[in-house]
Amino acid sequence: MDSGTDSGYDTQGAGITVQRALELPGLRSGLPEVLAGAERLGRTVRWVHAGEVPHIASLLKGGELLLTTGYGLGTRPAEQRAFVRTLAERGIAALVVELGPRFTRLPAALVDTARSAGLPLVQLHREVPFVTVTEEVHTEIVNGHYALLQRAEEVHRRCTQALLGGGGVPHVLGILGDFAANPVFLETADGQLLYAAGSGPEGADPLQVWEGLRGQHKDEPPLAGSVLVDVPGGGPGSGGVRARLILLPVRTPLAPVHRMAAERAAGILAVVLMQARQEEELAARGRGDFLTDLAEGRVTAEDAPAQARVLGFRPGSGPLLPVVMRLGDALPPDESGGGWAVLARAVSEELASVGVPVLLGVRPVESRVLVLLGLRAESERAAVADRVAAALRAGVGRAGLPRPGGQPP
């Protein structure tokens, strides 16, 4: 797909468009006339090459603006058609031919083949120094690279400031999701969801997106055009990967600048996740966010079961029992030593003895532990509630905190 912007910079890569190249002083002084492919002037120019040899296509990689006076095009129509077809197959951005001793006008075979192949073909009516054109276009390309780096560095700066200001991984992922205008996911190395941020099409919850595109397809490559970046770290047998950061292009296409930003964010996340049990705390916070959204009506009854399954909650058809434990000042909201992870693990282990499906999350900002349990029948609500309250108190005790009460809301 061809892409470009009114500014002449390609939004999908670090290059400029053919249209922008034709507007630069060097080519503009040659009085360029577009004979074919006018609808594709938004193509990206990634480099400029000048040459006069018949088999020049073999020297190109794609995306080049090829400058020539036409001596390598051949004298017979068949040679000229073959010349253009091989360039189109190679994927060059455009062919620019300077009129002069070789051609006073471009042959019909050349023009017709370029039109049928969709290759932008430009003739220059005045002589221009090709070296000047090359320097100008390459300068624009370098400036485009620099602009992309600046945007990625701005995201890195914002993420760093968020962490220094007391924010955590969710804040970093939120910044990246806003920048990419797409949902962002942090997964374990084996594909288990740790945290989701951003939003899907028409404001859809990112858990819905993950369930549809990742939850059932962990062993398949991500959606075409996705950005997948490894977060380094991990222990023995991990291959040096602690987690994976994934951006899915479900709202807008992703560009190279989004990969650059993701790579910088991954470096920040690697440092944060090196702290003990940060992955556990992050997963518990993700479940806490879901349970809060569910309780406050931000998740519909139709969407809730699928999102709960993404988070590992698979109850039967019986009623549900929600429980909230308020810790007060027992654990500071900005705890950074893994305390919330220790608490979540201890409480989860105690709740395992209750014998019913459990979804447990934490909300550090509110100093709460949220629990959702799947009952077999309404008649066991009171008995299960008592066992849950005891398990919550025991878990808090194991974590070394004062024992607040656990109660159904």
**Alpha-helical segments (H) within 165-255:** 169-180, 206-210
**Rounded CA gap, 42 and 22, in Å?**
11
Look up residue 386 and give its two tokens: 């008592």
pLDDT score, position 87: 95
Q: In terms of pLDDT, which residue wins out, 407 or 172? A: 172
**Rounded CA gap, 251 and 246, in Å?**
14
Pairing of strands 227-232, 241-247: antiparallel
Q: Are 193 and 306 in contact (CB under 8 A)?
A: no
CA-based radius of gyration for the chain? 30
- Mean local confidence (pLDDT), 22-29: 95
Q: In terms of pLDDT, which residue wins out, 14 or 132? A: 132
The dihedral region occupied by 239, where left means phi > 0, alpha psi between -120 and 50, and beta the remainder, is left
**Rounded CA gap, 84 and 96, in Å?**
12
What domains does the chain contain, in order, with CATH numbers? 16-143 (3.40.1390.20), 166-274 (3.30.450.40), 297-407 (3.30.70.270)
**Rounded CA gap, 288 and 161, in Å?**
25
Q: In terms of pLDDT, which residue wins out, 119 or 303? A: 119
Q: Which residues contact 24 (CB under 8 A, 6 or more apart)?
A: 133, 136, 137, 140
pLDDT score, position 3: 37
Question: Quick one: what percent of the chain has pLDDT higher than 90?
Answer: 39
pTM listed for this prediction: 0.54
pLDDT in tens, 118-143: 999 999 999 999 999 999 999 888 88
